Chain A
Amino acid sequence: MLPVRLKQGSPAHWALRVLGAAVAAWFLLSPIVRDLSPSEYGELTEIAFLALAAMSLNLLIGFTGQISIGHSAFFGLGAYTLAILVTEHGWSPGWTYPAAALLCFVVGVLVGIPALRLKGLYLVIVTLALAQIFPDLIRKLDVTGGSQGIGGLRYDAPEWTGLEAGRQGRAEWLYWVALASLAIGYLIVRNLVKSRIGRAMIAVRDNSTAAAVMGVNVPLVKTVVFGLSAALAGLAGCTFALRQTQVTPDNQYLSILGSILFLVIMVVGGAASLLGPIVGAFVYYRVEEFSRDLPDAEWLPGFLDSFLEGRPNFATLVFATLLVVLMFVAPFGLVGTARLLARRIAVVVPAPPTPPPSPEAALPAETGPGGDDLGARQPAADAPST
């Protein structure tokens, strides 16, 4: 009899959780035993920083309903902070991560303050302005190396890791750094979303006027979330700079296309879902790779082969179409759809609140008690403040 009902906290529920954690751990940690080449590590690193960038957007768009298409600027700010601190001031790349996050947080808050007055479209436009101006600005400045950019960035594995010094060791070490920053980003977003602030964020997203009436400090929530989101994007930018070993203003991730790609990854993975950005980054990277290699594939029939010859951007077209189609059929992305399907198989019945309900406990958490609507409730991602 489907769906199977599992009590929250029952042994079966715990078994499922352990199984999920084990699968995730295998995916992330298996490089230890799989003996990967530097380029394979590079791919995983790229997936990790794309996931982190998409996660930063998810915090802002998915959970708080503030649309930004200027995150490429924060991403670039992080990358350039790392590059300048490393080459000009001789910092170890590891220490530049917190510095870059802090700087991006401050800049994000500064941008967020005028953005407080802005709703919906106007915020989109201001962040569009950021994305548009950032490459121009770094081309113009001297400290950023102008249009030449800054090169020669690398992060040798520290000795205590026992990794070898050459290219292999660096690629491996960078993967762990990227994974650690992704894990930190994940924990920050997860804890934030499941806390009181997270409920405030969701309230702001669903109806900011009602949230203000309920006592949520809407401007504060918006500004802080904007800053935090910028900081996470900056962290992703740091890893990006190390992966590229150089930063130039012409890189597509630092232009408006970068912001749009992060948005694509977030939406494809699943807005307002914690795992969405990670799944999205993985799918995006693999599909991109697949379609980049497609014209050379041997199994392809000849007429398709000659059709694709000399036509770039096939992957981008696929994702653009996917984005529009997803808005029709699955606005919650892959993770949201998977969750809907899983709910047909098994439903977790939340345990009733044990102590006499205090006022805080009565607030609807992510899993509302009882009723027909059992299981993790799908957050209504597609209703930003009007």
Chain B
Amino acid sequence: MERFLQYFFDGISFGSIYALVALGLVIVYRGSGHLNFAQGELAMISAFLAWWYHDIGLSPWLAVLVAAATAFVVAAVIERVIIRPIGNRSQFAVVVAAIGLFLGLNALAPFAWRVRVPERFMALFPNEPTDFVRIGGAEWRELYIGILAVLAITGVGLWALFQKTRFGLAMRAVASNPESAPLVGIRTGRVLAVSWGLAAAVGALGGCMVATARGNVDATMMFSIFFAATAAAILGGFDSLVGAVVAGLFLGVFETMVAGYQPDLVGQQLKGVVSLLVILLVLLIRPSGLFGSQRVERV
């Protein structure tokens, strides 16, 4: 039981990070039907930005928030300048452009900051060896509780934005019917740009959480997390915010348990296989995921 709880607590924290990145993926997908390949790398760059802002004198949390704001602006500009004009052309071109962004952002971090080895990232939560809460014999580190709290606050904030504001209503309208939304006076373009910005800002929080949990920032740190977040988004149904959070947390816990109880067969190294199997199972059995809406395609 103690072991189970321990894996649960560890898994929840991985899951919170997956959920944050998956939320970003879902926000973009709902708006425009694109998979934002660069989501993970945008988060990585944002973590670098937060590190840099802190380095030049901002307090740690202020640095994170300013980095998220920067990510918002950058992603909104990317949507307006690159993705939207190309998207009018073809889906393939969007995928290629997003892959180009992935490649470029990934190369940009070491280029811009002359980083060759991972840089130390500031601690956002108490993270001394003694900073944990003991529940049922298992240790729940305060760092992990903090990350979960960030997810909770972000989730509630997004819920409020989508359900309680006029702009959220416009975003939901664009998601449910992109053709009719402009007819009732919604400025679709602005909604899409804001979706990208919002997604990047949420992803930036995710990136900073990854960095503070690892203790450093590295250009390749988001590869496996982006992949797990994609799996979470698929499991959650790709167009459901609740689904992304639930599936992200579930995937984190499930993966940690599989790796923990099967240290020889799976272990830490092959955790990714769990995500792969989840993706395949969902796609073969229930392509719309747990919470996704079924879509009918017309020819």
* A residues near B279, Cβ cutoff 8 Å: 125-126, 129
Is residue A317 within 8 Å, beta carbon to beta carbon, of the partner chain? Answer: yes
Would you call the interface of chain A mostly helix, strand, loop, or mixed?
helix
Q: Tell me whether B145 is interfacial, beta carbon within 8 Å.
A: no
Q: Find chain B residues with CB under 8 A from A14 CB.
A: none
Partner of A67 from the list B95, B100, B234 (CB cut-off 8 Å) is B95
Give the A-B pair count, Cβ closer than 8 A.
137
- Chain B binding surface, main DSSP class: helix
- When the two chains form the complex, which single residue of A118, A121, A310 contacts B114, counting CB atoms closer than 8 Å? A310
User: Which one of A125, A139, A310 has the highest number of Cβ atoms from chain B below 10 Å of its Cβ?
Assistant: A125
> Which B residues lie within 8 Å of A139 (CB)?
269
CB distance from B90 to the nearest CB of A (A): 4
Q: Is B258 an interface residue (CB 8 A)?
A: no
Of the candidates B85, B89, B272, the one whose C-beta lies within 8 Å of that of A133 is B272
Known contacts A128-B227, A136-B272, A384-B91; is A323 also within 8 Å of B283 by CB? Answer: no
* Chain B residues within 8 Å of A328, by CB: 85-86
Please tell me if the beta carbons of A65 and B99 are within 8 angstroms of each other in the complex.
no
Tally chain A residues at the interface, Cβ within 8 Å.
52
Closest Cβ of chain B to A214, distance in Å, is: 13
Q: Which residue of A lies closest to B34 (CB)?
A: A121
A69 at the interface (CB under 8 A from B): yes
Q: Encode A204-236 as 1/0 by CB contact (under 8 A) with B.
A: 000001100000000000000000000000000
- Given contacts A132-B224, A313-B110, whether A320 and B269 have CB atoms under 8 Å apart is no
Interface pair B92/A117, CB less than 8 Å apart: no
The reply to whether A320 and B101 form a contact with Cβ atoms under 8 Å apart is yes
Instruction: Establish whether residues A65 and B92, one from each chain, have CB atoms under 8 Å apart when the complex forms.
Output: yes
In the complex, how many angstroms separate the beta carbon of A272 from the nearest chain B beta carbon? 11
B104 and A126 form a contact (CB under 8 A): no
Q: What is the 8 Å Cβ interface bit string for chain B, positions 122-154, against chain A (1 contact, 0 not)?
A: 000000000000000000000000000000000
The interface residues of chain A lying within 8 Å CB-to-CB of B58 are none
The contact of A320 among B104, B284, B299, by CB within 8 Å, is B104
How distant is the Cα of A314 from the Cα of B97 in the complex, in angstroms? 18
Give chain B residues whose Cβ lies under 8 Å from the Cβ of A244.
Answer: none
| Cβ of B212 under 8 Å from chain A | no
